Amino acid sequence: MTTPTAPHYLFLTTSTREPGHTGNTEWLARQAAAALPAGTAQTWHHLARMNLPHFVDQRHTSGTYAPPEGDMKTLLDATLAATHIVFVAPVYWYSIPSPLKTYLDHWSAWMRVPGLAFKEPMASKTLALVTTSGDRTKAQPMIDSVALCAQFLSMTWGGALWGKGGPPGAVQADAQAMEAASRFLLTPAAA
């Protein structure tokens, strides 16, 4: 795969709400995406609706991994094709939801697939986070964790957009978050 040059945003939504129920985090992320210049490439995947196998730590046994298949291959290809990766993740227990954690753990495998260049192309990408939770302070450990993941792979940190969540639609009452969403992906501010 060649390194993408034109902006291409990959949005990974990770709310585990039932199909047909759009969560606050996705709603906020869609506000941010709507502000991108017309024609900007966007790909959206809903991790909770994909078949993501458990990650197995083989670093000190076989030391390598087979190329991913199925939905994990779809996500690897989408990850490599993106210039900007946006985690659209509500705060679950001060952390990220488990589907996103599974996807993220597989980055460790993708670094060890023979013949696959993963770590180096990741360093040219931006990682950003859109999140909602009951209050802002409870989001900080998760924001710090995602920023450190970006740092580990020498990615550019695009910052975090936070909104006050709760039941579906709650974030629409957060005027500050709505205003921040309109410029978040254009001039990302560090968390």
Ligand X SMILES: Cc1cc2nc3c(=O)[nH]c(=O)nc-3n(C[C@H](O)[C@H](O)[C@H](O)COP(=O)(O)O)c2cc1C
- The residues binding ligand X (CB under 6 A) are 15, 17, 23-26, 90-94, 132-135, 138, 165-166, 168
The helix/strand/coil state of 56 is coil
Shorter beta-carbon distance to ligand X: residue 67 or 166: 166
User: Residue 69 or 135: which CB sits closer to ligand X?
Assistant: 135
Minimum distance, C-beta of residue 58 to ligand X, in the bound complex (Å): 29
Judge residue 40's burial from the number of C-beta atoms within 10 Å of its C-beta, 0-12 exposed, 13-18 middle, 19 or more buried: middle
Minimum distance of ligand X from residue 169's CB (angstroms):
9
- The residue number whose beta carbon is nearest to ligand X equals 165
| Tokens at 19, concatenated | 């199909």
117 contact partners, CB below 8 Å, separation of at least 6: 1
C-beta of 73: minimal distance to ligand X in Å? 26
Nearer residue to ligand X within complex by CB, 112 or 164: 164
What separation in angstroms does the CA of 117 have from each of 27, 62, 70, 80?
A: 34, 19, 19, 9
Which C-beta is closer to ligand X: that of 79 or that of 132?
132
Smallest gap from residue 32 Cβ to ligand X (A): 14
β-strand pairing of 84-88 with 126-133: parallel
